[in-house]
Amino acid sequence: MKKIKIGSKKWTNKHETFTEKIKNMYVLGNEADLDALNGYNDTTKGFQQLIAEAIQTNTPFRALGAGWSWTKIATVSNGVMLDTKSLNTTLSISQQSVLPTYTGDISKLIFAQCGNGVWELSQQLRQNKLSLKTSGASNGQTIVGAMSTGAHGSAFDVGAVQDYIVGIHIIVSATRHVWLQRQSAQVVSASFIQKLNTVLLSDDDLFNAALVSFGSFGIIHGVIVETENLFLIETYRRRMPYDDTLKTLMQTLDFSTANLPCGNERPFHFSVAINPYDLKNGAYVSTFYKRPYRDDYIRAVPNDAGIGPGDDAPCFIGKVTDVVPALVPTIVNKLIGSAMAPFEKQFGTLGEIFNNTDLHGKLLSAAIGIPLNQVNRVTEILFEINKSVGPFAGIFAYRFIKKSNALLAFTHFDFTCILELDGAFSTATQNFYTAVWNRLDAEQIPYTFHWGKMNAMNFDKIKIMYGNNVETWIAARNKLLDKDSLKVFTNPLLTQWGLAKVL
């Protein structure tokens, strides 16, 4: 494995919302003169050496994806960070590598090394007329960085990124690496395990724990992704009255009597955004439908503000800076009016519609998962708090996702509405967040926090959110990692959340 120690003593996340003091940053790469499999296996050994060094020198360390998280989840104070983005090998999966009992389509499985960008995988899959099943609104994350916090879009019947991962290769110590898959849905054969010189663990709890484990289960070196045939998305954004009809839709996801662009067809993606300063003109409703792929479609184009159909608020809210409260409505109206301009019947593949890998200015982003039946009550609360604590320099945005099997996925309810509060980088925004979380607690409204976005979690809250899943997750971490590894893969945030327990 190639390893360049770049000597940085501090690290700043992509959004420049925090800086952490670190000991060093290593940029990693596969050896160029080895073929894909041998290069991958050589890098596995390289990771093990790094873990051995970390243990010897008592230095905590952690893998970094694309650095897109707002929380200090990918970093470790006074430790070593590993830039994994160049570890972007992919391997196709042969029939021999898969168990005869696997019920899926082998030709749609792809083995991806951790650093593959979501955008990069999409481009590669397209060459074989395949596609990822879903992604976030933007696609600059690495595949493992995205799954590790449970990143999601609004393909509500599909799930989040981790929901299409069916095998995980983790380097858990200086001497051990394992292949994890579900006992109840086994995929790979002994031949595959031999190719990676690894050890097979088929176990639902271990697998479901590792899926969303934010760097604390070791180094996830590679994953098997279940993909599907390349498809097109037909996209619409309309302004619709925020009335009982829309509220019922958001609270039920029952499209049987919906009057959306394609009538009552159940969409692939449904999301709503409310500009609290322009409600009289309606909410912004994005309805995207899945269509068979064809070559002769006219590609969607960004609007005058440079924003494409799939882009969400983090792509443009950074342009709202900390302004005096009286100006907030005017500034938000001006920005949203151009960035979220309605459009009709724009087409693209998943990778084209959800394609923004650029960041435009500093912003704060928080996302909470709430059960569908609480959506409208929570919106009432937001309007109330906007009056008393606001004005919030941002918008209220809603996406929807079915329940994940990952133990700590924040898409935790049967169908989770993900409420996103993207706003200006300011103390006022933080105060607004705090008031909202306090009110949800006071009203005992169940909710979960996105692990990679602004949040206010501690162990007690996490227990309320996830119940017994928390203990199962901690037990899984203790089963996979030995005492030395538990120590090096612990960062201050994990400790603060009470998840670093050694059993």
Site for ligand FAD in 219-278 (CB under 6 A): 219-220
State which residue, 114 or 421, has the beta carbon closest to ligand FAD. Answer: 114
Say how far apart CA 171 and CA 42 lie, in whole Å.
Answer: 13
Q: Is 149 in the site for ligand FAD (CB under 6 A)?
A: yes
Task: For residue 189, give both structure tokens.
Answer: 């054969």
Least CB distance to ligand FAD at residue 137 (A): 4
Q: Considering only residues 120, 203, 234, 312, which one is a binding residue for ligand FAD as defined by CB under 6 A?
A: 312
Q: Are the C-beta atoms of 235 and 348 separated by less than 8 Å?
A: yes
For the chain, what is the radius of gyration of the CA atoms? Answer: 22
Q: Give SS3 for 61.
A: strand
Site for ligand FAD in 424-463 (CB under 6 A): 450, 452
Least CB distance to ligand FAD at residue 124 (A): 17
Least CB distance to ligand FAD at residue 79 (A): 11
Q: Is 114 in the site for ligand FAD (CB under 6 A)?
A: yes
Q: Measured between alpha carbons, how far is residue 171 from residues 178, 196, 209, 258, 494 in Å?
A: 7, 12, 15, 48, 19
Measured over the CA atoms of residue 238, residue 365, residue 232 and residue 299, the dihedral's sign is positive
Site for ligand FAD in 186-215 (CB under 6 A): 214-215
Comparing every residue's Cβ against ligand FAD, the nearest one is 145
Q: Is 142 in the site for ligand FAD (CB under 6 A)?
A: yes
Q: Which residues face 343 on adjacent strands?
A: 237
Q: Is 134 in the site for ligand FAD (CB under 6 A)?
A: no
> Which residue, 192, 186, 180, is CA-closest to 480?
180
Q: Are the C-beta atoms of 111 and 224 separated by less than 8 Å?
A: yes
Count the Cβ atoms, other than its own, within 10 Å of residue 190: 11
**Nearest 10 degrees: CA dihedral of 103, 185, 92, 295?**
60
Say how far apart CA 465 and CA 473 lie, in whole Å.
Answer: 13
Q: Is 477 in the site for ligand FAD (CB under 6 A)?
A: no
Least CB distance to ligand FAD at residue 455 (A): 11
> Which residue, 187, 40, 150, 197, is CA-closest to 410?
150
Q: Is 151 in the site for ligand FAD (CB under 6 A)?
A: yes
Give the DSSP H/E element, type plus range, for residue 177.
strand 177-181
State which residue, 63 or 488, has the beta carbon closest to ligand FAD. Answer: 63
Give the distance from CA 167 to its chain's centroid. Answer: 18
Exposed, middle or buried: residue 347 (CB in 10 Å: 0-12, 13-18, 19+)?
middle
Least CB distance to ligand FAD at residue 149 (A): 3
Using the rule CB under 6 A, give the single segment among 20-28, 58-66, 200-208, 372-380 that binds ligand FAD. Answer: 58-66
Least CB distance to ligand FAD at residue 62 (A): 5
Least CB distance to ligand FAD at residue 355 (A): 11
Q: Is 63 in the site for ligand FAD (CB under 6 A)?
A: yes
Classify 470 in phi/psi space as left (phi over 0), alpha (psi -120 to 50) or beta.
alpha
State which residue, 13 or 189, has the beta carbon closest to ligand FAD. Answer: 13
Task: For residue 380, give both structure tokens.
Answer: 């009432």
State which residue, 49 or 95, has the beta carbon closest to ligand FAD. Answer: 49
Binding residue count for ligand FAD, defined by CB under 6 A: 37
Q: What would the x/- binding string for ligand FAD be over residues 66 to 105, using CB under 6 A?
A: xxxx---xx---------x---------------------
Q: Considering only residues 29, 39, 79, 145, which one is a binding residue for ligand FAD as defined by CB under 6 A?
A: 145
Least CB distance to ligand FAD at residue 256 (A): 28
State which residue, 144 or 300, has the beta carbon closest to ligand FAD. Answer: 144
Site for ligand FAD in 354-413 (CB under 6 A): 359
Q: Considering only residues 1, 54, 64, 172, which one is a binding residue for ligand FAD as defined by CB under 6 A?
A: 64
Least CB distance to ligand FAD at residue 321 (A): 17
Bond from prior residue into 391 cis (ω within 30 degrees of 0): yes
Query: In this structure, are strands 10-12 and 19-21 parallel, antiparallel, or unpaired?
Result: antiparallel
Using the rule CB under 6 A, give the single segment among 139-147, 181-189, 199-207, 295-303 that binds ligand FAD. Answer: 139-147
> Which residue, 193, 210, 215, 176, is CA-closest to 45?
176
Q: Considering only residues 88, 90, 141, 448, which one is a binding residue for ligand FAD as defined by CB under 6 A?
A: 141
State which residue, 86 or 229, has the beta carbon closest to ligand FAD. Answer: 86
Site for ligand FAD in 321-360 (CB under 6 A): 359
Q: Are the C-beta atoms of 142 and 117 separated by less than 8 Å?
A: yes
Q: Is 146 in the site for ligand FAD (CB under 6 A)?
A: yes
Count the Cβ atoms, other than its own, within 10 Å of residue 266: 16
Least CB distance to ligand FAD at residue 40 (A): 13
Q: Measured between alpha carbons, how far is residue 58 from residues 46, 78, 366, 485 in Å?
A: 18, 11, 34, 10
In this structure, the chain runs to a length of 503
135: Cα within 13 Å, side-chain hemisphere: 30
Q: Is 152 in the site for ligand FAD (CB under 6 A)?
A: yes
List interacting residues with ligand FAD (CB under 6 A).
Answer: 14-15, 62-69, 73-74, 84, 114, 136-138, 141-142, 144-146, 148-149, 151-153, 214-215, 219-220, 312, 314-315, 359, 450, 452
